[in-house]
Amino acid sequence: MTDMDTDGSHIKGLIINFIHFFWPSLLECGFISEFTTPLLKARHGQKVQSFYSMQEYESWREKTSNADKYTIKYYKGLGTNTTAEALDYFENFDRHRRKYQYNADFDDRMINLVFDKGSASKRKDWILKSYDPKGTVECTDDGHVPYHEFINKELIHFSHGDNLRSIPSAIDGLKPSMRKILYGALKRKLTSEIKVAQLAGYISEQTHYHHGEASLQATIVNMAQDYVGSNNINILEPIGQFGTRLIGGRDQASPRYIFTKLSKFARLLFPSEDDPLLDYLEEDGHLIEPRYYCPIIPLALVNGGQGIGSGWSTTIPQFCPHDLIHYIRAKLNNLDNAAVTLPQIRPKVRGFVGEIIARPDGKGYTSRGVIARHGKNSLIISELPVGRWTSDYKSFLTKMLARGDITSFSEDHSTENIHFQVRMPIAKLLRAEKRGFHKVFQLESNLPTTNMHAFSHDSVITKYSTPEQMIDNDFFPVRLDLYSRRKESMMADLSYACALAKNKARFIAAVATGDLDIVQGTAKRKEDTISLLQEQKFDAMMDLKLIKHAQSDTLDAKHADEDETSNASASNKDYDYLLNMPLSSFSLERVEELNNSVAKVEGELNILRSKTIADLWSEDLDRLEEHLKGHMN
């Protein structure tokens, strides 16, 4: 008996593997069975529908026309059930009990495939080829569940979900929990400080987060950290003690005591104009975060990433944001010339004063700390390699001291800077210098590029050999397409605003000059007034809204084609945007103001028409680059 979500499925799998390893005969004799409880319940009046997997619920939702009228309750854990519900389950014990059935030909192989350390490559193939998002466990005719059926139809959902949580997207560089946090922060327009603990609660509510808020709080802290070796560009602002390089950020204060808000880079990376164009997910009938965001530069390469999933792991080094900007600019300037030589993308860690050099074997980079002689018998270590924390290195020096390799060391650090002074006998110092100080004092770390896995734009785990490959194959085409759709959307919005202002200005002028008498004329009823407006070719709101969905080069034709039909079916509310204008609007000053607005919008529209999608992207890059000045030092 476990939770019924994918984490519960993982626990079941671990128990099965444990028994299979130590007492395989217990599987053969049918020893194992499970007691199931609902994962979700849908209520409508007195009717209650129970679902034992997310796939079962989604299938019901697709087939049920009035599913949106049901109230959905998600049972994260066994503790969600009331006493009455628990009693009902046990009163119907046989209905909730599932016995497992063993088949040596299939089950031994499948259990070893999932849990054997030596089967990682086979496990990858299994997930890629066997995963069915809609797959659910099917019992045999006598009500038993074969072990291979459980593994292929239930446990595999955990493996897929584990990879989703552990491996970032190549498009936005985020994992699902990070994406939920960004969505909530942008939705809340988080420009004022809020406690991390409070923000986690808000995110959990707005995005239907089904895991513990403690993990959300930890992720918020990680997204805001800015010490050396954390984020090159932090999306959230660290206001309080968010951790230092002393122990790799683990010395942060409690989420109850620290505050955060969106950093100045958030909207530069994720422009608000993109928001309506993203593919938002849906849960329980509510829109939540998008499938992925699309920043103007690839955050997966800016901030790097690490994670261990099922069958896959990933290690992505951090690269220089300025190099990424230059690389993208070069591609934009040579869209029709694929053979052009593009700028190099180099690794870069914000605040790191050591050096990062390419490995001779081409498999990544080596970061080197800074060490120099100081006097006859001492050394100053003023930087550690990337990923080496101050406290860990102090432990290493303590061991050297115990072995007699050094005579003493002292510390004088700040939260940002490193300063160890090491003393050692002159003879040992000379030998260490001959061998190489970096090697003797372990001041090198590897930054490999041989394990750069990320989810591609079509949600497939993909291995990238170089940062350029990630940009060329996935990020750049997706972002370029988004700019194309964004231009169309912006032109439609401006065209709508222009048409709206024109109609209002013409309406006020017509009423003021008496060309349209809606007070003392023949229009005694609203229907008569609407007929007059139609005769004088004022646009109904329905027509104006069509403009928002039309492309700029077909606006006039589309409007003309649908004018007669839409006007004929105009409702009583289609002209309220004119008829409900306040009396204070009926003045020459207001007409002049609207005409000026039309001229301004038409000017913006003409400027936008003249721009290419490459121009739009370049402008966003210019704004980001301006704010990055001095940031990476």
SS (H, E, C) 427-484: HHHHHHHHHCHHHHCCCEEEEECCCEEEECCCCCEEEECCHHHHHHHHHHHHHHHHHH
Q: What are phi and psi of 407, to 5 degrees?
A: -95, -30
Element of type H or E holding 290:
strand 286-290
Nearest to 184 by CA among 202, 169, 196, 198: 202
CA–CA dist 319, 485 (Å, integer) = 28
Both tokens assigned to 601 = 């919008």
The answer to whether 484 and 614 are in contact (CB under 8 A) is no
Nearest to 296 by CA among 336, 265, 319: 265
The pairing of strands 97-101 and 144-146 is parallel
Distance in Å from the first CA to the final CA of the chain:
54
Residue whose token pair is 């018998």: 377
Nearest to 300 by CA among 316, 285, 311, 313: 316
292 is known as an active-site residue: no
Q: In angstroms, what CA-CA distances link 362 with 13, 314, 315?
A: 40, 18, 16
Measured over the CA atoms of residue 87, residue 92, residue 94 and residue 98, the dihedral's sign is negative
Question: Which amino acid would we find at residue 100?
Answer: Y
The answer to whether 100 and 28 are in contact (CB under 8 A) is no
Nearest to 168 by CA among 158, 178, 159, 183: 178
CA–CA dist 254, 545 (Å, integer) = 49
Residue whose token pair is 């038993």: 144
CA–CA dist 470, 452 (Å, integer) = 9
The catalytic residue among 89, 257, 464, 496 is 257
The answer to whether 544 and 500 are in contact (CB under 8 A) is yes
In 3-state terms, what secondary structure has residue 79?
helix
Nearest to 53 by CA among 132, 152, 141, 154: 154
Q: How many helices (H) does the chain have, and how many strands (E)? A: 26, 21
CA–CA dist 447, 464 (Å, integer) = 15
In 3-state terms, what secondary structure has residue 47?
strand
Both tokens assigned to 633 = 């030092």
The answer to whether 194 and 259 are in contact (CB under 8 A) is yes
* Catalytic positions: 257
